Structure 1
Amino acid sequence: MIFVALLHAVNLGARRKVPMADLRALLTGLGLADVRTYIQSGNAAFRAEPDPALRGRLEAALAARFGFPVPVTLRTAPEWRGAATSCPAHLRDEAVVVAFLRDPPDPARVAALRGRDVTPERWEVVGQQLYQTVPQGVRNLRLSAGVIERALGVGVTVRNERTVGAVAAMLDT
């Protein structure tokens, strides 16, 4: 089965560096096949047997190799393709980012988040993704990854539409 692994908060400055060549070597060393990465933000695709412990194995190996915890969000190739095509139509008139949620969100917490005023941003949760408009740019988000994480109580990592589409295309090659 093909999986996509998203590393949270790596290569965002001088700290938490995870070179993609090192990531590919690490994943290959774990016995994963056909390992590929996309840009420096911690996106990897690979073949592996389905295993409920896979995320934990990846996180343990990353922490051992790089010396700091690296949360990982996993999606299967069909889940990723679905995420790449499931942005609600009413958000498509602006640039959108996708917040990938590590675990399913509690509907009550999603409802509570709806009570926050994050205007001019608009957002929608679809499955384990939160699609969000970025009218004032990613650096000025009122509904940042940290806010989403605290409000929903699940780990979050964000990718822009271009990255989501490029990784989806990579799965087909």
Structure 2
Amino acid sequence: MATRYAALLRGINVSGHRKVPMAELRTVLAGLGLGDVQTYLQSGNAVFSSGSDDGEDVEDGEEALRVRLERAVEKHFGFPVDCVVREGTYLRAIADACPFPAAELEGKQLHVTFFSERVGPERFAALDQAAFLPEEFRIGDRALYLYAPEGLGRSKLAEALGRPALTKGIIGTTRNWNTVVKLVELTRD
């Protein structure tokens, strides 16, 4: 039985730049031999099936798929795009571990940044969280949860978290809570 994954492409289809039409992305993914390919919204969310239940390590599977996908996207569209690939069970665990009351919030108030690797609290230790209240963040498993009551576009904390000094050496891509919930749904086996 194949495993369901989500691919989160970073920084595409923003203000008319780095255009990646979702129909073409589906074709690229299918061309890699991935099955049951679907996309969600225009912001670079794709889900697909790959592999079999052969005991393959999930981390290796995610990384191998990320590399294949990044190469294929660059070859097809002519520019590099960073991707984060995560298994559906991981996405469910991220949703279940949310430290904020997701059911009580609007989707635009809660966001998850998915990182290419684990990050520890020391990466963000210099950031004075109290200075940004009522905005807050918590670190999860290769993810950061952000509560921004006025939305991401007005969030001073999101801006601070995105500073190059804090994100150096890692890939991060952010999705609002509605998108996270939809990706969980789309990756269910």
- What is the TM-score when the length of structure 1 is the normalising length? 0.88
Q: Secondary structure at the match of 2:6?
A: strand
CA change 1:33–1:100 in 2 (3 A) is same
Match of 2:161 in 1: 147
Match of 1:168 in 2: 184
* 2:30 paired with 1:28: yes
Match of 2:117 in 1: 103
Q: How does 1:113-152 map to 2 (within 5 A)?
A: 113=127, 117-144=131-158, 147-148=161-162, 150=164, 151-152=166-167
Q: Secondary structure at the match of 1:12?
A: coil
- C-alpha separation between the residues in 2 aligned to 1:48 and 1:145? 35
CA change 1:122–1:115 in 2 (3 A) is closer
In the alignment, is the contact (CA less than 8 A) between 2:62 and 2:85 conserved in 1? no
Match of 1:53 among 60, 64, 70: 64
Aligned alpha-carbon RMSD (Å): 2.2
- C-alpha separation between the residues in 2 aligned to 1:145 and 1:33? 37
CA change 1:21–1:149 in 2 (3 A) is farther
- C-alpha separation between the residues in 2 aligned to 1:76 and 1:133? 24
> How many residue pairs were aligned?
173
In the alignment, is the contact (CA less than 8 A) between 1:105 and 1:152 conserved in 2? no
- Deviation digits for residues 61-115 of structure 1, max 9, x if unmatched? 1111111111001111110111122210467754211111111114421333456
* Identity value in percent: 36
In the alignment, is the contact (CA less than 8 A) between 1:7 and 1:41 conserved in 2? yes
AA matched with 1:104: R
Match of 1:62 in 2: 73
Q: Secondary structure at the match of 1:117?
A: helix
- C-alpha separation between the residues in 2 aligned to 1:68 and 1:41? 16
Match of 2:95 in 1: 84
Give 5+ residue unaligned stretches, structure 2: 52-60
- C-alpha separation between the residues in 1 aligned to 2:71 and 2:178? 29
Q: Tell me whether 110-119 or 92-101 shows the greater mean CA deviation.
A: 110-119
* 2:172 paired with 1:156: yes
Q: Tell me whether 46-55 or 25-34 shows the greater mean CA deviation.
A: 46-55
Q: Tell me whether 23-32 or 100-109 shows the greater mean CA deviation.
A: 100-109
Match of 2:17 in 1: 15
* Superposed displacement of residue 8, structure 1: 0.3
- What is the TM-score when the length of structure 2 is the normalising length? 0.81
AA matched with 1:62: V
